[in-house]
Structure 1
């Protein structure tokens, strides 16, 4: 089997890890990464091999990159930028006008899902964020972007679209090493009742492991899950992420 995958958000900090893992397994995967800027891609990867330019805000630019693919890994997200506080206090954050969550996390995600359906892809894996069921989550106040509300809207659109899906909503992302912590599956932000919100986290590399596993696991189809990790040293290290999908629910 050689699964043809289109990965969007390939130059993001989590996206690049997924891209590299798929590239490292050519017997099972053939991956194309969607990028907006070739110069940025060269800075990240040192090359543009297996990368193609496209803009999720412009559906016509998605047709060629998505054509002939089996699965979409949707890893795009609006990214806030720090701005100086006028009173010298802690930095504030804002979004670029063309990169607001409504544009990227809702309209851009919808464009990707619609293109995947139109071109006959068989599976969409969407990586979002824990907290999307919480209207008052502090992340919604960043730059007045309501980022989690728009991620939630896209999740529900994907569930209702009819295409087989896997939704993975990780806790706060860290840059720790993979395969050193016990991974936990939850639903509808219930893991926030297990962990303090500010301490609920997971290494990006472990998220990448779960994404790659979900591409070939039938039990991951039509599942939506929150994903977090116990503190290092607590519990038993999750060696095989495939075991997580037995615990995932069928909808949000």
Structure 2
């Protein structure tokens, strides 16, 4: 059987280089200016595809979307046993799409009919059991993510990608250590690929994740989870943060970015600390996002 790395090479695009949609940095900028759509908010009942729906952030995003009346298509790698997503959200308004994002042949129809895409996939920065089956940073954060971007039609209202702080500083200490096996570089390559795709996007860059990951198989339990005392959210339009971020706050930021047109075609670094924050208040999130990018990437903004 052809290895996943061989399949990746057959895509005809190395990390850091654009695939079929663009042919270089200059062309990429032109594509973005010409093709990027104005942000459009989702409506209740819209279908949202969530990649990484059983992960720490992804399952919270899925729960929050279901709570708000959206339909969810959860991408779950084909298994012999029952889908993990189906087990996690039994009886919910969710459909499971079995696919391996590293293999385009399994992704036919994956984004058909979706109004938005949330990519919450990821792996560990250093070798671990999660790397088994060729699940290292390159295949997870570059090959899989870029395949999903390339499979998304231009009609989507938003593509939200969750990456990490440090993606623009992976040659600097301490991020150079975290990037020893390329995880930050591959995340940054995927950010560039999304930006150059012409899709309306929002990129969320969380600090070191805290709160969870949750392993509850009860939807109500997930919805009742709170960020504890770490609800004060700090956003930055630049990659200049070093703190921690509650998974719950990150998941809420992902969902809010789908609801708010003002977040279209922007990057946001996010951390959270002790104190009160925006919670689920869309108006508060809108102020937070809008102040952040209208400041011209000058400084952090707090609610």
TM-score under structure 1 normalisation?
0.80
**Structure of greater relative contact order (alpha carbons < 8 Å, 6+ residues apart):** 2
Count of equivalent residues: 230
**Aligned pair partner of 1:130 in 157, 162, 165:** 165
Please tell me whether the aligned partners of residues 179 and 185 of structure 2 are also in contact (alpha carbons under 8 angstroms): no
Q: Which runs of 5+ in 2 are unaligned?
A: 1-42, 213-225, 298-303
Shift of 1:73: 0.4
Greater per-residue strand proportion: 1
Counterparts of 2:123 and 2:278, CA distance in 1: 30
Match of 2:278 in 1: 238
1:96 and 2:132 correspond? yes
Counterparts of 1:183 and 1:12, CA distance in 2: 22
Does the residue aligned with 1:130 lie in a helix, a strand or coil?
coil
Q: Which runs of 5+ in 1 are unaligned?
A: 84-92, 193-199
Shift of 1:50: 2.1
Mapping 1:113-152, distance limit 5 Å: 113-117=149-153, 120-134=155-169, 135-136=171-172, 138=174, 141=177, 144-152=180-188
Shift of 1:98: 1.1
Counterparts of 1:40 and 1:33, CA distance in 2: 10
Please tell me whether the aligned partners of residues 95 and 143 of structure 1 are also in contact (alpha carbons under 8 angstroms): no
Shift of 1:56: 0.6
Please tell me whether the aligned partners of residues 94 and 142 of structure 1 are also in contact (alpha carbons under 8 angstroms): no
Match of 2:17 in 1: none
Aligned residues: CA RMSD = 2.7
Match of 2:207 in 1: 171
Shift of 1:145: 1.9
Please tell me whether the aligned partners of residues 111 and 151 of structure 2 are also in contact (alpha carbons under 8 angstroms): yes
Counterparts of 2:87 and 2:192, CA distance in 1: 35
**Aligned pair partner of 2:123 in 78, 82, 90:** 78
Are residues 112 and 137 of structure 1, via their aligned partners in 2, closer, same or farther at CA, if it must alter by over 3 Å?
A: farther
Please tell me whether the aligned partners of residues 125 and 183 of structure 2 are also in contact (alpha carbons under 8 angstroms): no
Match of 1:22 in 2: 65
Match of 1:153 in 2: 189
Match of 1:196 in 2: none
TM-score under structure 2 normalisation?
0.68
Counterparts of 1:15 and 1:25, CA distance in 2: 15
